[in-house]
Amino acid sequence: MAHLTRIKVRGYHLDLYGHVNNARYLEFLEEARWSLVEERIDLAEWQRRGLAFTVVKIAINYRRAASLGDVLEIHSSLSELGRKSAKIHQKVYLEGADTLVADADVTFVIVDATTEKALPLEGEISKSLRALKT
């Protein structure tokens, strides 16, 4: 089962049309990814080792408008683990319904904070990232 994050739509999330602004979905998705990673990876250890998640691509599909008071359920899980990059797939639903609001694929790399270069996803890094899979 994918990791679940709930977010209630507030007034400051809305655009002039009363819908969640498209840029806000990126924030919702980021919040859900942080929740996933914080729950399953020892971030203090990663920080000590100078490792950082860096998003390199986001492909998002907007399926339905969300409005004030809606509670969104964001399902997140690792969908691909490559040699140098990985992908988290996320789906945003209205709480308690099968209504898909948005879905996204977020490609990221793990960067050495000192060199600012992407690292191979092998060994302990790969093992840690596998914890993000359902």
Residue 89 sits at φ, ψ, to 5 deg, of -100, 135
Q: Whole-model pTM?
A: 0.93
Confidence of residue 99 (pLDDT cuts 50, 70, 90): very high
Neighbours of 80 (CB within 10 A): 12
> Which token pair is 66?
């969300």
pLDDT, greater one: 1 or 76: 76
Q: Residue 1's pLDDT is what? A: 65
**Structural domain span for residue 10:** 3-130
Structurally, how many domains does the chain consist of?
1
**34-54 pLDDT per residue, tens:** 999 999 999 999 999 999 999
Q: What separation in angstroms does the CA of 87 have from each of 52, 98, 99, 105, 129?
A: 15, 23, 23, 6, 10
CATH of the domain at 29: 3.10.129.10
Any catalytic annotation for residue 15?
yes
Residue with tokens 């099968």: 98
